[in-house]
Amino acid sequence: SGDRIGIWSSNRYEWVLLQYATARIGTILVNINPAYRTHELTYVLNQSEVRFIFSSLHFKSSNYKEMVEYAKEVCPTLEHEIFFDENWEEF
C-alpha cells in the first residue's frame, strides 16, 4: 500500500512481529534510532511521511510518549501511535 509505519524502540519481541507484519501487508517499516531527540524524531517522521508509529514509552532518560505527542503537532502525516507498554494488547 506504500504506507509507512515507524518503530521507535530498543530491541524487544514486538520488533520481530512488526517486521513480519509490515512485510506481509506491503507497508514500509521505518526504523527510528532509539537515541533520537525530539528534533531528530520530527525530522525523520516528516521526511519519511510516517502515518503510524509503534513505540516504547521511554528509553534511558527520554520520555518517548511526550516526544511523540509533540511530534503529532508538527508532523501532518502522523495519525496514530501505539505504545508497547500501554495499548499494544488492544491493537
For 34-68, how does the pLDDT look when each residue is reduced to its tens digit (9 = 90+)?
999 999 999 999 999 999 999 999 998 999 999 99
Closest CA to 78 of 50, 41, 44: 50
Helix (H, G, I), strand (E, B) or coil at 80: strand
CATH code of the domain occupying 1-32+44-57+79-91: 3.40.50.980
pLDDT value for 69:
96
Closest by alpha carbon to 17, among 5, 2, 1?
A: 5
Spell out the domain ranges in the chain.
1-32+44-57+79-91
pTM for this entry? 0.90
Confidence of residue 1 (pLDDT cuts 50, 70, 90): low
Q: Provide the pLDDT for residue 87.
A: 83
What are the pLDDT digits (tens) for 5-42?
A: 999 999 999 999 999 999 999 999 999 999 999 999 99
